Amino acid sequence: MPTSVTMPELGESVTEGTVTQWMKKEGESVTVDEPLLEVSTDKVDTEIPSPVSGVLTRILVAEDETVEIGAEIAVIGSADEAPAEQAAPAAEEAPAAPEPAAPEPEPEPEPEPSPAPASSAPPAETAEAPAARAEAPSAEQPSETKTDVDTAPPIDIETLSGTGQQSGTDAVTEAYVTPLVRKLAADEGVDLSTVRGTGVGGRIRKQDVQQAANEQRERRERAAAEPAAPAGAAAPTEPARKVVPDTTLRGRTEQMSPLRRSIAEQMAESLRISAELTQVIEVDVTNIARLRERVGEQFRTREGVELGFFPFFAVATVEALKTHPKLNAVIDSSKYEVTYHNVENLGVCVDTDGGLLAPVIKDAGDLNLGGLARKIADVTSRAHSGQLTPDELSGGTFTLNNTGASGALFETPIMIQPQVGILDTGSVVKRPVVVDDPNLGEVIAVRSMVHLALSYDHRLIDSSDASAFLRSIRERLEEGAFEGELGLA
């Protein structure tokens, strides 16, 4: 019984998906839950597993085609349908050979010379028939070869890329790398023969190419940074980043990706709907900097992640949301209805190669410093590797944006609708600051400083509300009383 495969539900508010890659071809076998295709939405790229085991008999939606949720995209038949379909061409060819065999009763009156050519013809045709039948398996051979390649270790690719085996490498790459992936590799200057695939059976996916491109970029940045190390890493990083766009984008005209289009639409819509204002404050995080120096190694051993500044910002933000519920709200613009949440679902902006994503840490208010640090590291890593699910990109009640990761002091972020606030954390820098010493009075000291920029919806949040929220965060961070959560109490 054929099974219809439809575009599945891909998360809250997602209405359509774009097929970016079929991982199986028509006529190939597939097992239940084996990745069947890759779909891109305005939130995330995700693999869709096969609902049943069988044979992919029909593909109804081509790569790069967009369809609505619930639309039929493929048909999977039972496993015994594959031999029937493969036998069909042979059955069509078979009559060509047996047909001359049908006259074989005629050769019995062999005395006549005319049947002799007829009887000699069948052997010729019969000889051609096996050749034709031999060609049929060879036509199927690429798919059989592909199966062998897919089940082979990824290292085989590197082995085949050795001297004198270039044609083998090309054949392997051609067998299981889609045009979309090949185009991305060409654009990024990535040699596919050096990429280790993470897809089914070592298949090279676009995430693998993106990771390889990132590694190449990082190597170039490190090389560029070495001569200018005293000036800091930020200065050489910027020129290194410009090299790739100059070589891949100059003179090109292309369609924006689904994710890029979604970002464009959402940001423009947010500015159209909300009355957005931004407040910026400066915070002294010297106490936190000293804590990190004292327990950073111990924290990394215990929690398995680095103890950066960002988890402290997240803890202070979540605590402030509990005491300032206006910032932890959403507005239904069609009804002018406000919902104040009783949970803190913290969105964390991650700048990936494809565009900005904001995975959501659900119930962030129930997590301590270590828990938030692990969650932030987890969603950030999976955002870069394309492993987030659509549900992880929805349901946020407030968002944090870490501009400091790029070395900027601060920026004015745009809210994610229907949220009413987003906090940008800038780069932590050491500089001379006037401080009030209890013994010496006002003195100049070197302190670790950071800018926090809060963009808020003035339809609900007044300037005094924003200021109170930022003051709560500043007081928590400047106090730096996180010893209990770091095992120092």
Catalytic residue list: 458, 462
Give kind and range of the element (H or E) at residue 150: helix 115-151
345 close to 364: Cβ distance less than 8 angstroms: yes
Backbone phi, psi, residue 226, to 5°? -55, -45
Q: Express the helix, strand and coil content of the chain in percent, nearest 5 each.
A: 45, 20, 30
Strand 421-425, strand 441-457: pairing:
antiparallel
CB 176 within 8 A of CB 148: no
Other Cβ atoms less than 10 A from the Cβ of 477: the count is 23
Write the DSSP string, 328-377: SEEEETTTTEEEE-SS--EEE-EE-SS-EE--EETTGGG--HHHHHHHHH
What does the alpha-carbon distance between residue 184 and residue 243 come to, in Å, rounded to a whole number?
16
What does the alpha-carbon distance between residue 155 and residue 193 come to, in Å, rounded to a whole number? 10
**Among 182, 177, 178, 189, which residue's Cα sits nearest to residue 249?**
189
* Partners of residue 92 on adjacent β-strands: none
Residues 39 and 32: their CA atoms lie apart, in Å, by 18
Strand-pairing partners, residue 72, are 6
Locate tokens 């060509």: which residue?
96
DSSP letter (8 states) at residue 161: T
> Residue 33: what residue type?
D
> Which amino acid, one-letter code, is at 176?
Y
Nearest alpha carbon to residue 275 among 471, 54, 64, 458: 458
213 vs 193: CA distance, rounded Å: 13
